[in-house]
Structure 1
Amino acid sequence: MRTIMSLAFVLVVSTAASTYGCGAAAAADCGSMASPGLDWSECNKKSIIIPGSNLEGANLTGTDFNATDLGNSNVNSANFEKASLMRASLAGAKAENANFSRVEAYRSNFTNVSADGASFASAEFQRGDFSGASLKKANFEKAELGRANFQKAVLTDARFFLANLSRADLTGATMGGKPVFEGAFMFRTRIEGVDLSAAQGLQQSQIDLACGDTSTRLPAGLSTPGSWPCTAD
């Protein structure tokens, strides 16, 4: 009798969970249209074209956006943590205070994005394009930024603590405030003409690896290496 009652109880609970959407499996609404605050966590949204979408404050954790076009969308304060954005486009998007930490975004297009205060911590943006982007107070701590393009980006008070900037291009970038480069790996990082005079944490060993020229401005105590300008790759 007790066994029968236990099985009946399990059946009732399972039915209720299915009917009322309880449980993790029913949390995300993967079939819904783009809208502010929705939950697309862990959904498959790859290779679709949805530019101009309003996803402000949306839960996009772990979502597959590979090769998806989100250009000119509003993703302010959206949470993309651990999402896949390889070859995706957010060109011209509004992404203030968005969370892109730990995303995989190889060859992604973030040109002209407005992402002030956004977090890219521990993210993988190899060959990502941030040219012309507004990234004031953006956090790139421990991010993989090999060959990333930051040409003419605004990086006022940006944080590159322990980031990999190997062969990244910062030429023409605005480095206002006190950007942080402590522990950043800067092998052949392009800093020609960049004003780094207020940069925090820069060491001579980092500058010796980077590629600047006579117009590059360095913090007090650091000197222009004799290897500058770098030879072409």
Structure 2
Amino acid sequence: MSAPLDQHREAAGTLAQGGSCKRCDLTGQDLTEADFANADLTGVTALGATLVRARMYRVNADGADLRGANMTGAVLANGAFTDAQIDMATLIDADARWTNFKDAELSAANLSRGDFRDASFRDADLRGARLTRGRFEGADFGGADLDQTDIRGADLSGARGLTQAQVGRACGDASTLLPGRLIVPVCRAR
């Protein structure tokens, strides 16, 4: 059962001050341009929430359920999303530099044009995700599942932990930048 709307507004006000909303239910809420910098969102549920251009700098969202959330243009830099469920979420143009997505579920998520430099995707599930034209220099992909991941135009040239086996299950194009001698199959028309 979802909390009343007044409770959501109160939680957003508390979060704007770097407060805590552990295990809050923000499902379906419109939190466009909300300021959650330094907030504790551990275990929060925000299924399908609108977090467009939200300021979530240094947020702790470990174990959060953000499936289907729209985080277009959100600032997630230096955040913690370990073990978070971010499947089918939209992170287009997101700033997630130095963010920890270790063990996160990001299947079918759209990370297009995002800045994920020095982020950790260690052991993350990126199956079917779109990383098109994103920046991933210094990002750690050790153990990440890239099966059917679209990396067309992505800059992975300085990424760490990428193997030929991982990249071989993804797809890209001539503008995809990869480290070393890794080769990515060309995406087929969808």
TM-score (norm. length: structure 1): 0.71
Gaps of 5+ in 2: none
Q: Residue 22 of structure 2 aligns to which amino acid in structure 1?
A: P
Partner of 1:191: 161
Asked if 1:169 corresponds to 2:179, the answer is no
Instruction: Give the structure 1 partner of residue 95 of structure 2.
Output: 124
Which residue is 2:116 aligned to?
145
Amino acid at match of 1:160: L
CA 1:127–1:144: 2 relative to 1, 3 Å: same
Residue 182 of structure 1 corresponds to 152
Name the structure 2 match of 1:219: 184
Q: Within 2, Cα distance between the matches of 1:200 and 1:144? A: 20
For normalisation by structure 2, the TM-score amounts to 0.86
SS of corresponding position for 1:33: helix
Distance 2:21 2:63 in 1: 13
- Secondary structure of the corresponding residue to residue 32 of structure 1: helix
Q: 1:206 corresponds to which residue?
A: 177
**Structure 1 regions of 5+ residues with no counterpart?**
1-30, 222-233
Q: State the partner residue of 1:156.
A: 127
Rounded Cα–Cα distance in structure 2 between residues aligned with 1:81 and 1:220: 33
The secondary structure found in structure 1 opposite 2:140 is: coil
Residue number in structure 2 paired with 1:23: none
Per-residue deviation, residues 36-57 of structure 1 (Å, max 9, x unmatched): xx69889962310111000000
1:89 Cα deviation after fit: 1.3
1:73–1:188 distance in 2 versus 1, CA, 3 Å: same
SS of equivalent residue, structure 2 residue 70: coil
Distance between the aligned counterparts of 1:168 and 1:71, measured in 2? 23
% identity of equivalent residues: 22
The Cα of 1:138 is off from its aligned counterpart by 0.4
SS at match of 1:196: helix
Residues 162, 205 of structure 1: alpha-carbon distance in 2 compared, 3 angstrom cutoff:
closer
The answer to whether the Cα contact below 8 Å between 1:91 and 1:112 also exists between their aligned partners in 2 is yes
Supply the distance in 2 between the matched residues of 1:56 and 1:137 (Cα, whole angstroms): 19
Higher Cα radius of gyration = 1
Q: CA deviation at 1:219?
A: 3.5
What's the RMSD between the two structures over aligned residues?
2.5
Instruction: Name the structure, 1 or 2, with higher relative contact order (CA <8 Å, separation 6+).
Output: 2
**Paired position in structure 1 for 2:6:** 32
Distance apart, 1:33 and its partner CA:
1.9
Summarize the Cα distance change of 1:55–1:205 in structure 2 as closer, same or farther, 3 Å threshold: closer
